[in-house]
Amino acid sequence: MKKKVLQSLTVGSAIIFMLAGCGGNKTETKESTKKETKTEASSTDVATGASAQAYTDPKDLQDKYDIVIIGAGGAGMSAAIQAKDAGKNPVILEKMPVAGGNTLKSSSGMNASETKFQKESGISDSNDKFYEETLKGGHDKNDKELLRYYVDNSASAIDWLDSMGIRLNNLTITGGMSEKRTHRPEDGSAVGEYLVHGLLKNVTELNIPIFVNADVTEIKEKDGKISGVKVDMKETKEKKEISSQAVVVATGGYGANPEMIKAEKPELDGYVTTNQEGSTGDGIKMIEKLGGQVVDMNQIQIHPTVQQDTGILIGEAVRGEGGILVSEDGTRFINELDTRDKVSAAINQLKGKAAYLVFDSGVRERVKAIDFYDKQGFVKKGETVADLAKEIGVKEDALDKTVTDWNQAVADKKDAQFERKTGMDKPLDKGPYYAIKIAPGIHYTMGGVKINAKTEVLTKDNKAIPGLYAAGEVTGGLHGTNRIGGNSVGDIIVFGRQAGDQSAQYIK
């Protein structure tokens, strides 16, 4: 498909409203190419995560589609676009009042190797290196078939997005990676809202019906094949059965389901979550009822840098662009860009189980998301390092020495203290200086339903369930026991596309 996004909608600001937890005005779509009648995004939508997109009117819901796609995050929307491009008639059913899921909240970017944007920036990367580093980050527990497919199809996924006007040409690095392969929007802003906005715009332009407040409660099977779903339309209070030859489950993870988290990993009981409230593991439960296999269910990622009052994640790009972590004593305590599990564990060892993310104006200019964190009131400021130390209540001389030593390590290209090797391109020497207080929070569920590289859902004896596909955070295996930052956006696009293609091919 060659399609350009024509103009920017006002989604970004709507999403900012959501993240900020404050209300906003009623928004409506500027252009609508859908045949179906549209409902406007309500003011609540804006307040809870909306886009300016109008969704399909619930009364236009049909009894039959070729493919039902459950969930309107990145995986679901990618699958829908690909299935539609293959000439099929998909529908997207989303239980929340708005599209986007956790994808909307993703910050760092999308990992991919051997891309045209890396080449343009003079970065020589390889799929094999990306494979090896992801495997190392996942402690060698990754599903190797999925991982191979993922890295080998990452560059074409970047091109596919670009062909739809979703351009991720600004490169940064995340923990556990040795190359700049995390692709962000040109201005360095958080990837999630830009991506969701772009996908939703393409879904609309392709006339793909997308229903919100549409909670899928069951996946139906007949004669050993998938035959459709049951959906609870929350606005009209109608319960409906929809028939389809194939179903793509793209319902995301279970990071917002405290019972499931506690059952799988009791020690995480009480942790804040960065997840949106729709991430309750529904897809996993529905697939298990059909005899589907689940893997790695107790592999739950805690992200090291989460603002604790709001559950808002402070993106890894802040460290990738040069930020450091300091304890209450004003000293560094870890290679800040070690993998998420190790950095989280180190923070949990500190007094107060929290740390400060410290950076300068240079980092702030390079990471646009910091403006958003500032609007939330998270960012403390000092004209000098000593002023900042006073502001956050750590010893001035200690923080001063930490920043001086760090800048020396950057100049020497050698961090003798913690062996950090990345995110050291520039020193922290441009005032004013800033700090955000963070601690770990539940972020991502690595486990989920077992699929093969065709995204077919497998039974306990590894047989594909005919007509059932899954992609994105609902699946398990790709990330092993620790997901690398930037690999979930890659996952949802690569496997979302594959689920759309494969389900379309499956249909006679």
Using the rule CB under 6 A, is 147 a contact of ligand ADP?
no
Q: Nearer Cβ to ligand ADP, position 95 or 183?
A: 95
Beta-carbon contacts of 90 under 8 Å, excluding residues fewer than 6 positions away, are 65, 66, 67, 68, 69, 79, 80, 83, 84, 208, 248, 500, 503
Using the rule CB under 6 A, is 278 a contact of ligand ADP?
yes
Using the rule CB under 6 A, is 74 a contact of ligand ADP?
yes
CA angle 250, 255, 260 (to 5 degrees): 100
Cα distances (angstroms) measured from residue 153 to each of 111, 160, 310: 11, 10, 35
CB of 95 to ligand ADP, least distance (A): 4
CA distance linking residue 249 with residue 478, whole number of Å: 16
Residue 340: active-site member: yes
CA distance linking residue 129 with residue 443, whole number of Å: 26
181, 319, 332, 340: the active-site residue: 340
Using the rule CB under 6 A, is 252 a contact of ligand ADP?
yes
Q: Contact, 166 vs 195, CB < 8 A?
A: yes
Contact stretch for ligand ADP (CB under 6 A) within 90-98, 131-139, 417-425, 429-437: 90-98
CA distance linking residue 424 with residue 429, whole number of Å: 13
Q: Nearer Cβ to ligand ADP, position 75 or 409?
A: 75
Using the rule CB under 6 A, is 409 a contact of ligand ADP?
no
Q: How many CB atoms lie within 10 A of CB 374?
A: 15
Q: Nearer Cβ to ligand ADP, position 71 or 228?
A: 71
What is the distance of C-alpha 290 from the center of its chain? Answer: 27
Beta-carbon contacts of 177 under 8 Å, excluding residues fewer than 6 positions away, are 111, 130, 133, 137, 422, 484, 486
Contact stretch for ligand ADP (CB under 6 A) within 88-96, 369-377, 420-428, 459-467: 88-96
Strand partners, 353: none
What burial letters (b/e) apply to 14-29, b meaning 16+ CB within 10 Å? bbbbbbbeeebeebeb
Choose, by CB under 6 A, the member of 9, 96, 388, 442 that binds ligand ADP: 96
Q: Pattern 102-131, binding to ligand ADP, x per CB under 6 A? A: xx----------------------------
Nearest to 470 by CA among 258, 302, 293: 293
Choose, by CB under 6 A, the member of 45, 94, 179, 501 that binds ligand ADP: 94
CB of 494 to ligand ADP, least distance (A): 12
Choose, by CB under 6 A, the member of 472, 480, 490, 500 that binds ligand ADP: 472
Q: Nearer Cβ to ligand ADP, position 95 or 366?
A: 95
Q: Nearer Cβ to ligand ADP, position 199 or 363?
A: 199
CA angle 170, 172, 177 (to 5 degrees): 140
Contact stretch for ligand ADP (CB under 6 A) within 95-103, 345-353, 376-384, 420-428: 95-103
Q: Judging by DSSP bridges, how do beta strands 90-93 and 210-211 pair with one another?
A: parallel
Using the rule CB under 6 A, is 75 a contact of ligand ADP?
yes
Site for ligand ADP in 219-238 (CB under 6 A): none
What number of chain residues touch ligand ADP (CB under 6 A)?
26
**DSSP letter for each residue of 34-67:** -SS-EEPPPHHHHHHT--SPPEEPGGG--SB-SE
Q: Nearer Cβ to ligand ADP, position 250 or 358?
A: 250
Question: What residues line the site for ligand ADP (CB under 6 A)?
Answer: 70-76, 93-96, 101-103, 215-216, 250-252, 278-279, 282, 472-474, 492
Residues with catalytic roles: 340
